[in-house]
Chains A and B, each alone.
Chain A
Amino acid sequence: MVDILAVNLLTKTFGRLRAVDSLTFEVREGEILGVMGPNGAGKTTLFNLLTGVYKPDEGDIQYQGKDISHESPAKRCRRGIGRTYQIPRPFDKLTVFENLLVGAVHGGGLSEKRARGKVQDILNLIGLMSKTDHFAGSLPLLDRKTLELGRALATQPTLILLDEIAGGLTEKEATKVLGIVRKISEQGITIVWIEHLLMMMAEGADRLLAISEGRWLQCGDPKEVMNSTEVLDGYLGAEEE
């Protein structure tokens, strides 16, 4: 399998805190790579580095063979890296439809006319057809989560980064979101997926990357990673602090 993304010795510090610390891993084309780690492990910071929200202090990011470490967030999005936010951040004063249109027109580079068709497909997929004209700011959490998914998808990504997309949802709601993620994966889109619910990772992910305090712990088969002593120690160690 070909690597779509290769992260090499990536480091981000906030003052004295090494939020992401010499992290090296790769993402294979078409896979679902789960990312696990305790709170504060640096998972969201990693996504912010991958999407260009933060500049790395050290290391580099190769996407489809190109060094994108210093490209702007908009450029990376147009290259095909889409993302969701852990705490949904829809454009509150825009409608559901307009939220998706922004992704399709700007990130996806589609003409508004073509984007409209694309947006209809996505609305169907995420099940928000009946709420197209609702303001995003007025949506309940489940809808905000699915809108996050939809908006990322609208940017026509080849790689999508999901930050605790099922976090904070009831089991029934989470199942619905999982179904959408599975459909996205079936479209051939590569997924890097941060999630706290470990069972979900065990079933959903092809491989699992475990990090703690910004550092690489383990990467490989989900069940093996979860049961490895490094991960158990890493978890317990971090959780105790």
Chain B
Amino acid sequence: MSENRMAIRQVELEVLRYNPETDDEPKFQRYSVPCKNEWCILDALNYLKDNLDPTLSYRWSCHMQVCGSCGMMINGEPKLACKAMVRDYAGVIRIEPLSHFPIERDLVAVADDFMAKLKRVKPYLIPGEKRSLADGEYQQTPEQLARYRKYAMCINCMLCYAACPEYGLTPKFIGPGAISLAHRYNQDSRDGGRDLRQEEIATNEGVWECTFVGACSEVCPKHVDPASALQQVKVASTVDWYLEHFMSWVKK
């Protein structure tokens, strides 16, 4: 880009505000923020909070797309505020808390539901083969790593939930992020916990609530491709079902 990185442009932000102590419903508030060309939306919000309105609440931590806490709707799309650049938006920029989640305050979404679901899918290694410390580490080949690597990139930002219409309509759906993480461990050669996870995800609240809209994969900032993970879980669960019902003599 030939423009000066430090060039300053006055940008109109329309931010959804909600104060649980005084407001009955959220409403938009307009701010005019002098933004540098190199700023991301999070920089603009930080400027706003430091200089224009200290009462604005929003979450962030790393400012480098790894902590997953700055997810919000920017012009209706779920984005990381530290990844979306101000210069990519023309006109008024509309900022709202992540869709489909209750609003705690201003841009802060209530993450309790996602956290509970994450816990349910057991997103950690459940070793298939017990080894003592003396046996040394669990080893893995690059091929075995490649099997799940993509799904290990998840930063729990919940953008996929805000994009998923299925989750919006049926909040009990375990959802793309958590199921992708379950898949990540199921695909891991060191893991033996698939049966436990299947009890949660191979269910109507799990993958079978998914109708493959594919929106999750389009918005995921880490290219986890949750839609792919969920379809793979469906295929594997269907194979399980056939093996169990028609080929019970086939040893698992």
Are A and B genuine complex partners? no
| Interface, chain B (partner A; CB < 8 A) | none
A residues lining the B interface (CB < 8 Å)? none
